[in-house]
Amino acid sequence: MTKMMTAASMLAMLLGAGPALAQAKVMNLAFTPPADSHYGDAARAFADTIAERSDGAFEIALRPAGALGGERDVIEGMQIGTVELAISSTGPIGNFVPEVYALDFPFLFDDYASAHAVLDGEIGQELLASFQPHGIVGLAWAENGFRHITNSVRPIREPADLAGLKLRTMENEVHIAAFRAAGAAPTPMSWTEVLTSLQQGTIDGQENPIPIVTANNMWEIQDNITLTGHVYSPAVVAMSAIHWDGLTEEQQGWFVEAAQAAAAASRQTVAANEESGIALMRENGMEVIDGIDKAAFAAAVQPAYDEFADRYAPELIARIRAAQE
């Protein structure tokens, strides 16, 4: 009798604890920078928010440092459902969501405050909505930062110094056209190939925001950085539409909230790194070239505007500029 009661009691306990013992649904969150980066901080904020809001029903597995491939690979993975979530720069996204190309024109944004106002406002929300027809759900705009040029051939003080430099660019035809117009030899490639290519001398330099430079100890393989700030590079927190459609409306709300927490975390880290990163690069022996004539660099890349502005939402580019006046 005692054994029967014990068994019955245990069964009742197990049934009563069913939800608590249910296995969490695991979703991968992919990004190409290392875990110790602004993307990593964003990803942890996302994971923590989902864990809290879902009461453990969802678990976010962080996949940093290109563990699931480069950004283009991950975007394609979201479209077919093999990757659930990603934080990606906008560079390769224009190949899938053409409207996003409007964000990638050089010297379009004045400063961080202006960029945030545009992306958090009507224009940014319209752009996020444009993702879904392409099999991706744009959840929130996170931060990557203003992009700068590093190389080990010579300091870049004026556009003429770019002549012939083999610079890695993102797989983005606007960026490629801009550097080609300025006289460089742009070499598009996935970030997962960049560090090895720099070490082997396949390319001379690359361009990225300060947090990417510091997170990857770029001073170990690059001598100079010029603070051109030539492109403001947002990041997007995105989800596979296949997996999004499998969520309830309440659950979708959790993922949007988590993306907003991720965006805030990334912006906070980038702001801190912008202040400390320059000193850190100098401490580690990089020559930091500041105070350049940005108008001269803007003039050098103007042919990219002439070639692509009419093709990619010229009215949107005009709205972005008008929103900063």
Walk along the chain (325 residues) and give the pLDDT tens digit of each residue: 444 444 444 444 444 444 445 699 999 999 999 999 999 999 999 999 999 999 999 999 999 999 999 999 999 999 999 999 999 999 899 999 999 999 989 999 999 999 999 999 999 999 999 999 999 999 999 999 999 999 999 999 999 999 999 999 998 999 999 999 999 999 999 999 999 999 999 999 999 999 999 999 999 999 999 999 999 999 999 999 999 999 999 999 999 999 999 999 999 999 999 889 999 999 999 999 999 999 999 999 999 999 998 887 789 999 999 999 8
Domain 25-323 in this protein, CATH class: alpha beta
Q: How far does CA 161 lie from the centroid of its chain?
A: 28
- Compute and round to an integer the Cα radius of gyration of the chain: 22
In terms of Cβ atoms closer than 10 Å to its own Cβ (0-12, 13-18, 19+), residue 190 is middle
DSSP string for 92-142: TGGGTSGGGGGGGSTT---SHHHHHHHHHSHHHHHHHHTTGGGTEEEEEEE
Dihedral sign (CA 197, 198, 203, 205): positive
State the angle between helix axes of 314-323 and 122-129 in degrees (0 to 180), rounded to the nearest 10: 150
